Amino acid sequence: MKIKPIKTKKDYEAALKKIDELFNARPGTKEGNLLDVLVTLVEAYEQKHFAIGMQNNNQQR
């Protein structure tokens, strides 16, 4: 898999599929390093596109 920024839903879904395939990769291996990078890219995409608003814990009831 070519590493590139996740910009579209198609990119996102492809990255999730690859993460699923690599889920049990050993840390420090080629596959483990690829998994780390993909997880980082997916997290960044999710924060941008699926952000959940912060709740104000000081709201009066």
In a domain, residue 57? The reply is: no
Residues 52 and 24: their CA atoms lie apart, in Å, by 29
Residues 52 and 46: their CA atoms lie apart, in Å, by 10
In a domain, residue 26? The reply is: yes
Q: In which domain, by residue range, is 43 found? A: 9-49
In a domain, residue 39? The reply is: yes
Identify the pLDDT of residue 52.
77
Identify the pLDDT of residue 61.
46
Q: 2 falls in which pLDDT band (50, 70, 90)?
A: confident
Q: C-alpha distances in angstroms, 52 versus 37, 44, 49, 55?
A: 23, 13, 9, 9
**Tally of structural domains, the chain:** 1
